[in-house]
A = this chain, B = another copy of it.
Amino acid sequence: MILRNQNSVKKIILLGILLLVLAPMNLSSQEHPNLILTKNGVEKIRKELGKVPLFDNSLNKIKQEVEIEIALGIDTPIPKDYSGGYTHERHKTNFIILQKAGVLYQILEDEKYAKYVKDMLMHYEALYKTLPLHPKTRSYARGKLFWQCLNDSNWLVYVSQAYDCIYNYLTEEERNKLETNLFRPFANHISIDSPQFYQRVHNHSTWGNAAVGMIGLVMNDQELVDRALYGIKGVNLDTNAKDDDGGFLNKNGKAGFLANIEEPFSPDGYYNEGPYYQRYAMYPFLIFAEALHNVKPELKIFDYKEGVLLKSINALLNLSDADGEFFPLNDGQKGMSYFNSALITAVDISYYFGEKNPGLLSIAKEQGEVLLDDSGLAVALGVKNGDDKPFTKKSINLSDGPNGKQGGVAILRNENIELVFKYATQGSSHGHYDKLSYSLYEKGDEIIQDYGLARFVNIEQKGGGNYLKENKTWAKQTIAHNTITQNETSHFNGKYEIGSKYHSELQFYDDTDPKIQIVSANEKNAYPGTEMQRTMALIKDDNISKPFLLDIMKISANKENQYDFPYYFMGQVIETNFDYQSPTSLNVLGANNGYQHLYVEGKGKASSENTKFSWLGNGKFYSLTMATNTGDELILTRLGANDPEFNLRRDAALMIRRKNSKNSIFVSIIESHGGYSPVTESATNSKTSIKEISVILDSENYTAIKITTTKDIVKYFIMANTNPSKEAKHKIKINDKNYSWTGSYYYK
């Protein structure tokens, strides 16, 4: 609480300074372009034309795109469709092409581009003034060109850039016409007329703020710029109202672009909705920041909150796997990657306005495209000069929360194995009930998957491209994740209001030993009366070919519960060491909370003290070894029940079910070993190196695990549960043997 107050004070002071800085400015004598492109910048670009391959290629690509559209002619249809439908896609293409055509006009000085932009803007001027609300009613904030204000805002963010580029090409009369009939009403509709969309801390609002701010900067309209930075004056929303996704509209009354930087980003640059939505919000954050930097350099927007915008790009790039695909935390669609155009913006801006990190140049090279502005030119020149170095991703712990005190996300990396461990906040309306869950990757392939979202973004046939009901009934539920579900009920009872109040807590994170990357966190609120502490380590032991994952989930409860603990393995079952019954008909595992979507393909009991399970995925063998009790049920599940429209994938899991347990501990190792090639048909190293794991001590203060390899080499891992600080000295005796060490854990 003390920290929060201090922070509020800081913010008030900062806002005061901003207001002082802004007040005396004379906005009337602007030159154009000045928003993203600048007069000086354009001159520099023109001089380099034909000399910088990456820039020239990007220019040619865009030129081709725009030429095709010019040849097709202008179409601004009466709005009608959801995303995926014709009118939606047409208007979307239009704004993208308008922005590009504007840039081409500036760089190539060919009037045909300016004319194209002008003509299309006049079409929009004629259209917009006739438009009622968009006919589709599903959105909590309907747009006019599109079914939601969000997409209208996208339009304005792009189109304000186009307008800036041809500003001087237009007569004053033309400008007045556009500003009066199109831009100002447009900005008002997405802000004043739609406060439930605009007046919040949310990625939607960031788009709205940027849209209003950018057109405000071009039109030199201080009122719009202020509305962008600080929200609509005097508007306060009901703090209990919710949006389409079930998120609070505006719980704390904050609004505006600066609040949207302040709140969702942690000091490490982690965005509370996760990388998929950060990627989506990245463009308006950065493009408006670039515009503010150009038009209002005195704002020092890139230094705001200790430079969090640029830090967030680094965080985002680190939230991607070896192929550059973002980890699908929360409602993330798999396959989204740093090849998305928003990341071209992010990489170029981060390079140019940041510390010229040569690692970014290697990503830009992979992207094969740069922005057609100062930042893109700088990147292209860097690549041309061979300044690029590999962008090396190491283990990283990213705090969550405005002050970095609300849990976080840790990514452990050891050789080619990557673990993503989530102990963060609810993650806004896009969050899942997945406390202490994880996913595991090898070279960009999933070993243990996070399901992601249940949605086919922009595929009209699938619910208009919007969230499907299975997103709520399955994807958000705890059982859809690699963590504990207690008594077949999701964390926080699956209630957003409750989940939003809490976050997990970091116990410790330590990446100093290159052989052992480790993180530990606890969760005390997901199930009242139950405390979970999970420790995950990627350990490279010389006796085992690749780093393995050691996973210790320790549960303390005040009553007996049932714990379900699934492993969403990716691949085909190779071998098990337990017997199970296979039903001839498949029935669902449960009635609610996601269980209704799981079929039972097999059911057995752990037969020995270790349960073993191996699979083949992406040409590699994986083995899971679990220290189980003989009473543990083992359930093989298959997703897809109660899914008449085939919205869910038919993915498999192995689940341990432990009934009537109070305190309990789940310990397992997942090992990647060997591989199989269908070309050589040779299977190498197809069996696990782990013979046995056992819990030799589990007290309040210490948990000790004995690991025996198939070559009978024995290792001990001991965890200091209650005093995990780096400096703490520990000494204990287990089975007549003394162990002493300094720090959070012992491994030898």
- Is the Cβ of B336 less than 8 Å from the Cβ of A679? yes
- Is the Cβ of A459 less than 8 Å from the Cβ of B649? no
Pick out which of these stretches binds chain B: A291-299, A420-428, A636-644.
Answer: A636-644
Q: Report A134-162 CB contacts with B as 1/0, cut-off 8 Å.
A: 00000000000000000000000000000
- Is the Cβ of A683 less than 8 Å from the Cβ of B586? no
- Is the Cβ of B682 less than 8 Å from the Cβ of A89? yes
With A584-B641, A601-B640: A459-B683 Cβ-Cβ less than 8 Å: yes
Cβ–Cβ < 8 Å partners of A335 in chain B: 677-679
With A335-B678, A678-B335: A574-B459 Cβ-Cβ less than 8 Å: yes
- Is the Cβ of A678 less than 8 Å from the Cβ of B336? yes
Q: How many copies does the complex hold?
A: 2
- Listed residue (A457, A587, A676, A681) with the most chain B CB atoms within 10 angstroms of its CB: A681
Cβ–Cβ < 8 Å partners of A456 in chain B: 574, 616, 676
- Chain A interface bracket (under 10, 10 to 19, 20 to 34, 35 or more): 35 or more
Give bound CA distance, A679 to B456, whole Å. Answer: 12
Give bound CA distance, A427 to B512, whole Å. Answer: 61
Cβ–Cβ < 8 Å partners of A458 in chain B: 676, 681-683
Cβ–Cβ < 8 Å partners of A616 in chain B: 456, 459
- Is the Cβ of B457 less than 8 Å from the Cβ of A681? yes
Q: Closest CB-CB distance, A97 to chain B, in whole Å? A: 14
Pick out which of these stretches binds chain B: A32-40, A52-60, A337-345, A730-738.
Answer: A337-345
Cβ–Cβ < 8 Å partners of A334 in chain B: 678
- Is the Cβ of A678 less than 8 Å from the Cβ of B642? no
**Does A109 make an interface contact (CB < 8 A)?**
no
Question: Nearest chain-B residue to A599 (Cβ)?
Answer: B586
- Is the Cβ of B644 less than 8 Å from the Cβ of A602? yes
Question: Nearest chain-B residue to A644 (Cβ)?
Answer: B582
Give bound CA distance, A643 to B583, whole Å. Answer: 10
Question: Nearest chain-B residue to A582 (Cβ)?
Answer: B644
Question: Nearest chain-B residue to A588 (Cβ)?
Answer: B584
Cβ–Cβ < 8 Å partners of A337 in chain B: 678-679
Cβ–Cβ < 8 Å partners of A84 in chain B: 683, 686
- Is the Cβ of A646 less than 8 Å from the Cβ of B572? yes
Pick out which of these stretches binds chain B: A99-107, A167-175, A460-468, A694-702.
Answer: A460-468
Cβ–Cβ < 8 Å partners of A457 in chain B: 678, 681
**Does A575 make an interface contact (CB < 8 A)?**
yes
Question: Nearest chain-B residue to A334 (Cβ)?
Answer: B678
Q: Report A69-99 CB contacts with B as 1/0, cut-off 8 Å.
A: 0000000000000001000010000000000
- Is the Cβ of B646 less than 8 Å from the Cβ of A681? no
**Does A650 make an interface contact (CB < 8 A)?**
yes
- Is the Cβ of B679 less than 8 Å from the Cβ of A649? no
Chain A residues numbered 587-606 whose CB sits less than 8 Å from any CB in chain B:
587-588, 599, 601-602
**Does A680 make an interface contact (CB < 8 A)?**
yes
Q: Report A428-441 CB contacts with B as 1/0, cut-off 8 Å.
A: 00000000000000
| Cross-interface CB contact of A585 among B339, B459, B460, B585, cutoff 8 Å | B585
**Does A645 make an interface contact (CB < 8 A)?**
yes
Give bound CA distance, A494 to B582, whole Å. Answer: 27
- Is the Cβ of A572 less than 8 Å from the Cβ of B459? no
| Cross-interface CB contact of A459 among B602, B644, B686, cutoff 8 Å | B686
With A572-B646, A585-B586, A588-B584: A340-B679 Cβ-Cβ less than 8 Å: yes
Question: Nearest chain-B residue to A682 (Cβ)?
Answer: B458
- Is the Cβ of B340 less than 8 Å from the Cβ of A680? yes
Cβ–Cβ < 8 Å partners of A89 in chain B: 682
Give bound CA distance, A574 to B460, whole Å. Answer: 9
**Does A614 make an interface contact (CB < 8 A)?**
yes
Q: Closest CB-CB distance, A601 to chain B, in whole Å? A: 7
Give bound CA distance, A320 to B144, whole Å. Answer: 52
Using A333-B681, A573-B645 as known contacts, list a sample of 18 further A-B pairs with CB atoms less than 8 Å apart, ordered by residue number in A.
Answer: A89-B682, A334-B678, A335-B679, A336-B679, A456-B574, A458-B676, A458-B681, A458-B682, A459-B574, A459-B676, A465-B683, A584-B587, A584-B641, A584-B642, A585-B586, A586-B586, A602-B644, A638-B640
> Footprint of B on A, CB under 8 Å?
84, 89, 333-337, 339-341, 456-462, 465, 572-575, 580, 582, 584-588, 599, 601-602, 614, 616, 638, 640-646, 649-650, 652, 676-683, 686-687
What are 7 contact pairs spanning A and B, CB under 8 A?
A: A336-B678, A337-B678, A337-B679, A461-B686, A461-B687, A584-B642, A586-B641
